[in-house]
Amino acid sequence: MPVHQDDNVGNEGVAPPAAGRPVYAISVAAELTGLGVQTLRLYEARGLITPARSAGGTRCYSGADLARLNRITALNQQGINLTAIARILELEDANADLTARCDRLQARLDEVDTPPSR
């Protein structure tokens, strides 16, 4: 659906939700990613995605979840099966965690190595 200039009237100054904030219902997530609702449920059942749940049990997807779904779609389009995709995502997540830890340790090391100012 094309976006028209008038579609954002009244939304000036309204920021999009934070990437980790679950705000999209399953039908909206499906529409935004081009996937079917049943596909999203399958991905959840396979452990590829873990959407948050509302108090009533409704699945709520975040921007980060949508990015992960797009990554899954890209890998699947390359002919990679869901079991391999799960392993790839697991390794990518571990790599991101290790990189963040390394960055934190490097920042602490930089603080220790910085000579005191006079």
Residue 19 in tokens: 């990437």
Find out whether 96 and 58 touch, Cβ atoms under 8 Å. no
What is the pLDDT averaged over residues 11-34? 80
Rounded to two decimals, the pTM is 0.74
Query: What's the mean per-residue pLDDT of the chain?
Result: 87
Higher pLDDT, 20 or 7: 20
pLDDT for 10 beyond 80: no
pLDDT for residue 3 = 43
